[in-house]
Structure 1
Amino acid sequence: MIDRLAILGATGDLSARFLLPALAALRAAGHTGDALRVTGASREDWDTGRYRAWAAERLDRHGGALPAGAGEAVLSALDYRRADVTDPADVAAVVAGEGPVAVYLALPPALFPGAVTALHAAGLPEGSRIVLEKPFGEDLAGARELNRLLAELLPERAVFRVDHFLAMTTVQNVLGSRLANRVLEPLWNSTHIAEVDITWDETLALEGRAGYYDRVGALKDMVQNHLLQLLCLVAMEPPLTLGERDLRDRKVDVLRSVRPLTEHDVVHRTRRARYLPGRIGDRDVPAYAEEEGVDPARGTETFAEVELELDSWRWAGTRFRLRSGKALGTDRKEVAVHFRPVPHLPFGPGGKRPGGEGHGGEGHGGKGHGEEARPNVLRFELEPEGLALDLTGIGAHAHELVPLSLTARMEPQDLPAYGRLLLDVLNGDPALSIRGDEAEEAWRVLEPVLSAWERGLVPLDEYPAGSQGPPPHWW
């Protein structure tokens, strides 16, 4: 295990909300000890004492219930250096020391190339690793160039392009449910599954993140990485093992199988929108364009939806819909697998048994497809984490169909998602990180959407904050 961690961008939101609590969780669970040292670097003119005070306040706010001593142990492991993360001399001072170091780029994507170039000039000890957050690059060309720079710095196995969704309990359980249960895998294909909705709708609005979000938008912030990763896990062929090569090879296969979107497809199978003023719960929300730090002329979307099809034996004929929106009326974060209806129901209209004997009763032969005979839906609920299966059964009155639902709550993990990812980085296990070719394939899928949206071929719709988003216009 590597015992040195350097965080570039150590005073940002990512460090405050996720990395520091993850380090405390690792310490509390006994995965790290006193040997681990953490150097934070940022442009603020602070010393180590002030950084530790800042970190203590963030741990109190975001760390949850920590065992006695875990937070204090993390704080005592922290050092701080003021640094320009694109300056080789400053970066060399941050990573200086004996033995390999894991360098976490907790930075805006626009700074990745400069920081990687500075690390290359500064030099890293043998066995070091680098960690990059999403989105990886800003387009396909940017991702290719960033991959080139990283290849000059470290071998691919030492590059961790992390996506914390992959370490969530329910996301992992997509694979568990498929691959460990004989009842599901034979049905996991287009013969039985009509469509899959991958949704991340949230009531949160901008929440002070204009500096980042207004330059990215919903498509790059959520769909290009998190939701495409979920698509990979849902649609991949069963891997031989869950080791890094087998798992990542199968994920790349999914992205390569996505049917390229034509200009016509983008116009008719994608939509974008941003929120207007509205009310969510007990709070009034201003229009996105009026939020502090937003440039309305950019036309940044806060809602994005894309429908994809896969050219593969398993999935030909199934639709995959990826959707994410901010400032909506309800939180809905799930993967919903919609099964096709049964081919025949021996019930009459309204779910009741048809009258008459033999085969001649009215309503026989499929007329029982009433409202109550709904197709089954398997839901992987992402937040809160759980599993639900929508079924149809017999109600109190004989032969009357009623909806049934089976639900299960996931046991909480011993580590938060970022804790699991950091542990993999320190241990050198890249299975849950994104390989370079996979990052490029994800951009290839959405390049036609970005191009058409930039040219205004898809209108920027609007929806009131607190609503369910813009109405669909093509299904």
Structure 2
Amino acid sequence: MIRRLAILGAAGDLSARYLLPAVARLQAQGQLPAGFAILGIARQPGSDEAFRRQMAERLARHAADLDPAARAAVIGMLRYRQADVSDAEQMAAALQPLDDEALLAYLALPPSVYAPAMRSLSAAGLPAGSRLVIEKPFGQDLASAQALNRLIAEQFGEAAVFRIDHFLGMQTVQNLLGLRFANRVFETLWRAAHVARIEITWEETLALEGRAGYYDASGALLDMIQNHLLQLMCLVAMEVPLSLSARDLRDRKLDVLRAVRRFTPEEVDRYTLRARYGAGRIGARAVPAYAQEPGVDPRRNTETFSQVTCFIDNWRWTGVPFILRTGKALARDRQEIAIHFRPVPHLAFEENEATPNVLRLLLAQERVTLNLNVLGAGDRFYLQEAVLDSPLAESPLPAYSRLLLDALRGDCTLAIRCDEAEEAWRIIEPITRAWQAGRAPLREYPAGSAGPA
């Protein structure tokens, strides 16, 4: 296991809010090797002591539930160096404290800096066995994703790079594999003959929350659907893999992405929806219109709500709509995968209608529910709905900790492969081009509502 972690962009929010808490949780569970060291690298002037004080405050805020001893241990691992991550000489000097051991370089950087940072790391000469972690979004379009993949192949090799999507580290998401492939009752029905539609939803009451610098340049489609929700769709729709090895699992995910229908401009009008929130209230909180949020350029027409109905044109799923939906500043938080089964072909009960069965994975709550029809009390043969509800086993590690541990160990099972990243852009680019041309006009919904009609 790698014992050296270099965080490029260590002064940013990602490092303090997610990465260091992830390391602290690994430390609390005894998952880190002896002598583990963390080097923060950023443009800002600073010293080891100043960096430690700053990160101690952040850890106390973002990992308050952890044993203080674990937090203190992580603070003791920290060192800091000021450097321009795109300058090879500065990077070579900054990395010296990590000796000649293999290191994990985590690019906690804006996507526009990925390529120059990778070039400088390569020129600086990383020790043998070193690896890189790259956050989403991987590229801004297909051409940029392909260019990054070429750079990775030339400078590092595919096996050394981990394109991570923290949704894949969620326990409930991984439980989808167990639910599908270890239960004949579901796998037998998991096909177009029995499934009417599948909805994958990630809706939040959170509004922009000061993230205009990133969000206004991406929007809901690129922030959520292009990566997170397409990955969830792959796990729902993939064929049974030969094994859960990295190659077999990612091969089957790629099959799904390749089978997704690419839209014509007319189909973009029919099968996509975009909107942004106007002024409203979320509970007791007044929320300004998105266009009035600090840092937002209204001329960009950035959407905060996006829905795409995908079709997977293969033997198993032809004709079944996969509805991917995400939005901000909505009335409630809802994060779920819902499989809506078709109604029975003939209903002998005359008193009332049966409700089609729905299997739901509640991602944030780590639960699974199944709606069934049963006979109610009172009148004979009167149907009522029953809901089977069960918690799923909780993971001892949150998503970021799990994926970081995988990268330190060299396990790429949950990482995105180069061809997956490119196929996702081939699905999304026809939509972005059509939207830029005025297709699927931008709608508006009040903050605190259920979204656009």
TM-score, length of structure 2 as denominator length: 0.98
C-alpha displacement at 1:32, in angstroms?
A: 0.5
Q: What residue number does 2:89 align with?
A: 89
Which of 365, 373, 383 is the equivalent residue of 1:392? 373
Q: CA RMSD in A?
A: 1.0
| Displacement after TM superposition at 1:118 (Å) | 1.4
Deviation per residue, 1:412-464 (Å, 9 max, x gap): 21111100001000000001000000000000011100100111112111100
CA distance in 1, matches of 2:324, 2:255: 18
Q: Per-residue displacement from partner, 1:358-378 (whole Å, max 9, x unpaired)?
A: xxxxxxxxxxxx2xx110110
Could you tell me which residue of structure 2 aligns to residue 35 of structure 1? 35
Give the Cα–Cα distance (whole angstroms) in 2 for the partners of residues 183 and 176 of structure 1.
Answer: 12
Contact persistence 1:34–1:77 (CA under 8 A): no
Instruction: Find the counterpart in structure 2 of residue 378 from structure 1.
Output: 359
Task: Tell me whether 1:456 sits opposite 2:443 in the alignment.
Answer: no
One-letter identity of the residue aligned with 1:376: N
Per-residue CA deviation, residues 115-155 of structure 1 (Å, 9 max, x unaligned), is 11211222211111000001100000010001011112212
What does residue 319 of structure 1 align with? 321
Aligned residue runs from structure 1 range 359-370, under 5 A: 370=353
**Counterparts in 2 of 1:238 and 1:64: CA distance versus 1, 3 Å:** farther
Query: 2-side partners of 1:67 and 1:88: how far apart?
Result: 38
Q: Displacement of 1:68 after TM fit?
A: 4.2
Q: Residues 245-280 of structure 1, C-alpha deviation per residue, up to 9 Å, x if partnerless? A: 001100000000101111111011001111000000
State the one-letter code of the partner of 1:465: A
Contact kept in structure 2, 1:8 and 1:105, CA below 8 Å = yes
SS of equivalent residue, structure 2 residue 411: coil
Indicate the residue corresponding to 2:51 in structure 1: 51
Aligned-pair CA distance for 1:64: 3.8
Pairing partner for 1:295 from 290, 297, 322: 297
Residues 120 and 152 of structure 1 are in contact (CA less than 8 Å); yes or no, is this contact kept in structure 2? no
**1:266 touches 1:452 (CA, 8 Å); kept in 2?**
yes
> In 1, distance between residues paired with 2:311 and 2:49?
54
Mean CA deviation greater in 200-209 or 40-49: 40-49
- Distance in 1 (CA, whole Å) between partners of 2:290 and 2:92 is 40
Match of 1:154 in 2: 156
Partner Cα separation in structure 2 for residue 449 and residue 68 of structure 1: 48
5+ residue gaps, structure 2 = none
Q: 2:256 aligns with which of 254, 257, 263?
A: 254
Q: What is the distance in 1 between the residues matched to 2:40 and 2:365?
A: 32
Using the alignment, how far apart are the partners of 2:180 and 2:63 within structure 1?
33
Q: Matches of 2:50 and 2:4 in 1, distance apart? A: 21
Structure 2 residue 440 is the aligned partner of structure 1 residue 447: no
Higher mean displacement: 138-147 or 37-46:
37-46
Structure 2 SS opposite 1:112: helix
1:335 matched to 2:337: yes
Counterpart Cα distance in 1 of 2:111 and 2:431: 20
Give 1:71-82 correspondences, 5 Å limit: 71-82=71-82
1:417-456 alignment, distance < 5 Å:
417-456=399-438
Report what 1:60 is aligned to: 60
Partner SS for 1:305 = strand
**Counterpart residue number, 2:236:** 234
Letter of the 2:19 partner, please give it: L
Q: What is the TM-score when the length of structure 1 is the normalising length?
A: 0.93
Rounded to whole Å, the distance in 2 between the matches of 1:395 and 1:4 is: 61
Amino acid at match of 2:435: W
Contact persistence 1:34–1:73 (CA under 8 A) = no
The residue aligned with 2:389 is: 407
Q: CA–CA distance in 2 between the matches of 1:215 and 1:430? A: 29
Deviation at 1:411, TM superposition (A): 2.7
Q: 2:95 and 2:236 mapped to 1: Cα distance?
A: 39
Q: Does structure 2 retain, via aligned residues, the 8 Å contact 1:101–1:125? A: yes
* 1:263 corresponds to: 265
Aligned residue in 2 for 1:17: 17
> 1:211 maps to what in 2?
213
Letter in 2 for 1:190: A
CA distance in 2, matches of 1:20, 1:106: 12
Residue 434 of structure 2 aligns to a residue whose secondary structure is helix
SS at match of 2:185: coil
Q: Count how many residue pairs are aligned between Structure 1 and Structure 2.
A: 450
